[in-house]
Amino acid sequence: MHMRKLLCALAIPFAAGCLSSTVPDVSYWMVNYNKSCAVAQKPKYGIVRVSMVQVRAPYDAREIAVLRPDGSMAFDPYNKFPAIPSQIIRGAAIDALASSGLFASAVSASSSVSSDVSAEVSVLKFALDCRNEGSRKAIAAVAVRIVDRDRRSAAIAEGVGEADASSGEYSSAFSSAFTSAMADALGAL
């Protein structure tokens, strides 16, 4: 009986991976505003408050969503965002709105500055597209809604963006795809 307990005690570290070969490192990737979203020469709206940034399920996970050739989706346990995507995209969304030229300026939801309109940003798709053999790209689709002071929808537009991700530099690829999607949507407002 003692021998069985001893063998079980010795097997636990191996089963848990403690004494096995090294486990691959997890990489954490950011999403930043990385290029101009200028679509207007002069502001169409005053100050915009970014009241909401949401990422729709199933793209709202910390693990990068991967679209596969067979139509299924996987989540990469070794490539993650450092926080849920809506939290890390918020700053890039504010920067994109501020640079668009459509607004006098852009402020966050927590700002005490009075605003003329609000913006709601919904990320409809945010994934690594591996559906085509030999191709890996970051894709993003967004909807931007402008809401007036009376809480009526003043305008809404959707945009899409993609960027080559074959280098494995996912921060750059997702930043470019998101910024392009925002520029596309803002250009249609």
Q: Compute the distance between CA of residue 59 and CA of residue 77 in angstroms, rounded to an integer.
A: 14
For residue 157, what are the domain limits? 24-187
Query: Quick one: pLDDT at residue 2?
Result: 54
With a CB cutoff of 8 Å and minimum separation 6, the contacts of 41 are: 101
- Number of structural domains the chain divides into: 1
Q: Is residue 7 a part of any domain in this protein? A: no
**How confident is the prediction along the chain (189 residues), in pLDDT tens digits per residue?**
555 554 444 444 444 444 456 667 899 999 998 877 788 889 999 999 999 999 999 999 999 999 999 999 999 999 999 999 999 999 999 999 999 999 999 999 999 999 999 999 999 999 999 999 999 999 999 999 999 999 999 999 999 999 999 999 999 999 999 999 999 999 999
With a CB cutoff of 8 Å and minimum separation 6, the contacts of 177 are: 137, 138, 139, 140, 161, 162, 163
Sign of CA dihedral 86, 114, 117, 99: negative
Q: Is residue 82 a part of any domain in this protein? A: yes
Query: Quick one: pLDDT at residue 12?
Result: 45
Strand-pairing partners, residue 27, are 79
Q: Give the global pTM.
A: 0.85
Q: Is residue 169 a part of any domain in this protein? A: yes
| CATH number assigned to the domain comprising residue 61 | 3.40.50.10610
Q: Is residue 16 a part of any domain in this protein? A: no
- Two structure tokens written together for 174: 């997702």
Residue 136 CB neighbour total at 10 angstroms: 17
Q: Is residue 1 a part of any domain in this protein? A: no
- Please work out, in degrees rounded to the nearest 5, the angle formed at the alpha carbon of residue 122 by the alpha carbons of 121 and 128: 120
Q: Is residue 108 a part of any domain in this protein? A: yes
